[in-house]
Every structure is written in structure tokens, then in C-alpha cells.
Amino acid sequence: MTSRERILTAMSNRQPDMVPVAPDTSNMIPCRLTGKPFWDIYLYRNPPLWKAYIDCARHFGFDGWLPGVGAQGKYRNCAIVQRTEERIYLQGYSEENGKRVWHPYVTVFYVADPPTGGVPVEKIGLPREPETWEDFEDPAPEMTEAEVVAAATEHMGEDGAVGVHVGIPGLYNVEQIYEYHDNYSAVKERALQQEAGIEARMEQVIAMKPDFILTGFSGCLVFQTPDIFRDLGLPTLQRLTRIAKDAGIPTQVHSCGPERALVEICAKETDLSSINPLERPPMGDCDLAEIKRLFSRDIGLMGNLHTTEHMLHGTPEIVARESRWCIDVAAEDGGFILSTGDQCGRDTPDENIHAMIEVARTHGVY
């Protein structure tokens, strides 16, 4: 099997030739491997992150898993209001009656870390309205989402699978938690509007012919309880996964943090194909062996090496041991992708990634 076939077979909860291996290196490690300042990738898209990721998968030789291509032309109507050796500060604005009205937040781009958005200008000592600035012009060509998916799919080839993200309603931050309890009707109305638009969005996505559809969001059960998820997000997820199943496209939920309850809901009440990253304590609450035993008939699994204790701070021997354990408890009858918890850190040793891949290629053969 090719890497693409292997990933999609396991994601569809079937048995491939061997356990696919796809450590979550979706951000920092690909940027590090370019040798460029991280703002080149995140701000200037030189290269775009999706291309850096595919090159990273080829560099290490794991099965590519690209769950989305990222926003194009994201930083319109923005200006660089300050530069240092380590940071670039980007502030947005709008035009009102011929006057530039500056937004109260900046996005901070770092030389060796992913960007941080939504930072209040006062918090970092910048003036509310900059006195000087450099208008930002995106040097990368404008491309539609469909064009980027096509470009990523062509660049990936058979080295992995390329997905498209489709969102679902939910609570994404602390402010929305308060709003849910203080103004429930408004939050519920937004969720219903998003659910109503899912068919149009799914028509667009299916036309792009992605290998799979990624949904959910990071920390799904961090800012909301399982009951709130049932109220806001589950109806949309049920509709989305049903449409994708009818179209023959696998679906996957990504939700770092506590996820055990979400696995059960998705396995028993949706047509979801696969779920990740099934993080171990203390990052999450997932026991991979238990989840395999209880839910693997209904859903494919992807995870769950610890990204800090094992991948970042462990040795190749520790990574190999934990990789073998994951395969031993979760690989039977297929439906399992050996991966990590959410996002391997920038300084994860290359030899630890190689150790994980080696175990999958030898110990993970069916």
C-alpha cells in the first residue's frame, strides 16, 4: 500500500498492510526544518505551511496526514506596526468615512515559534493607534480554498492524505462560556444558523474531492461539558458525518485535551470514521487500551504517545517502547493510526521521530 492508501484504510476503520504512523508535526517541526524564521511561513507563506508539512513527512518518511491547508489571504487590511529581531507585530484596521480605524488587537509573529493572535495592544506596550506603520501586502498568490487543496494534493501525491476542515458549533473560549449561561438564546441561535449552512459548505467541500474531512476543534471538552457539546455541536456533527458517509469520504474529529466522553458520543451517535489524538493524562483522559476495547467496532482511532514526556523529553528507547505498547493494545483488526498527542514540540529530537516510525514499520505489520 502507499502511505495515502494506508492512512485512509485505517481512518475508515479497516485493516491496512501495516499500522500507519503519522506523528502530529503539523506546525513547529516543519517550520524548523525550513531553516527560515517562522514568520516566513505563517505570515508570508514562503513556503506555505501545508507545503512545509508535506516536505517534513517526506524528510522523516512517515505517512502524511494533512488535516487542512490553512487560510489564504488571511491578513488583509493589516499593517506591520513594529519589528524587532524576534517579533513582528501585525495590526488590523478598517476604513470608515475615509479614515483608518485601528483594531485593538495585534497578531505577534515570532522568529522561532507559531504566532499568537488577539493580543491587546496595551498589553505589549504599543499605542492604541500607531504613529508609523508598514502596510502589509501578501506576497503569495491569491488562491481559493479549492485551488490550494488541489495544489496540496498534487504535491502530496501518494505520500499521504489531504483533508479539508469543516467546523461545528461550540464554545471556543472563556468569554463564550459566560455568554452561553448569560445569553443562551443568542448562542443557540448561532449554532442553529451554522448547522443550517452545513449542507452548502459540505457541497463545496465534496466538490474539492479531499481525501478526508476534519471536523471538531482543539479542546472541544475544555470549554464545554459533554452536555453542552450535545446541545450545540452534536446535531451538526451528525449531519456532517452522514453527508460525508453518503459521499464516500472518511471523517475525523480532532480534539486535544479530555476526550473520553467525546469518543463514546461519536462512536455511538454519529457516522464519524476516526478520532484523534486520544491524549493520555495529564494532557487528556484517554486510556487507549480501554477505548480500543469498547469502541473500535464503531470508530477508527489515532494516537496517543505523550508529546512532552515521551516525544520531547524521552529517549528513542522510551519512544520505541511506548510505540510498541500502542500497537499492541490498539492495532488488532486495523482501524488504528500510530500518532502522538496534540502537536509535537519544535525541539522534539529527530531520533525520537525516527524511533516511532521504525517501530511502526517493523512491529506494526499485519
User: All 3 cell numbers of residue 82?
Assistant: 513594529
**163 in the same domain as 115:** no
The residue segments making up the domain with residue 85 are 78-135
CA distances from 76 to 43, 100, 105 (A): 11, 14, 15
Q: Could you give the residue ranges of the DSSP H alpha helices within 270-315?
A: 288-295
pLDDT tens figures, 187-240: 999 999 999 999 999 999 999 999 999 998 888 999 999 999 999 999 999 999
Q: Which tens digits make up the pLDDT trace of 39-96?
A: 999 999 999 999 999 999 999 999 999 999 877 777 889 999 999 999 999 999 999 9
Residue finishing a domain among 116, 135, 154: 135
Q: What is the number of structural domains in the chain?
A: 2
Residue type, 97: N
Domain end (from 90, 108, 135): 135
Residues 97 and 227 in one domain: no
46 shares its domain with 127: no
Cβ pair 145, 164 in contact under 8 A: yes
158-194: per-residue pLDDT in tens? 999 999 999 999 998 889 999 999 999 999 999 999 9
Burial category of 154 from C-beta neighbours within 10 Å (exposed 0-12, middle 13-18, buried 19 and up): exposed
Q: Are strands 87-96 and 78-83 parallel, antiparallel or unpaired?
A: antiparallel
Q: Are residues 331 and 286 in the same domain?
A: yes
Residues 328 and 283 in one domain: yes
The CATH code of the domain that includes 53 is 3.20.20.210
Q: Let me know whether 33 and 123 are in one domain.
A: no
The last residue of one of the domains, among 109, 135, 161, is: 135
Whether residue 55 is found in the same domain as residue 144: yes
Q: Are residues 8 and 123 in the same domain?
A: no
Residues 150 and 230 reside in one and the same domain? yes
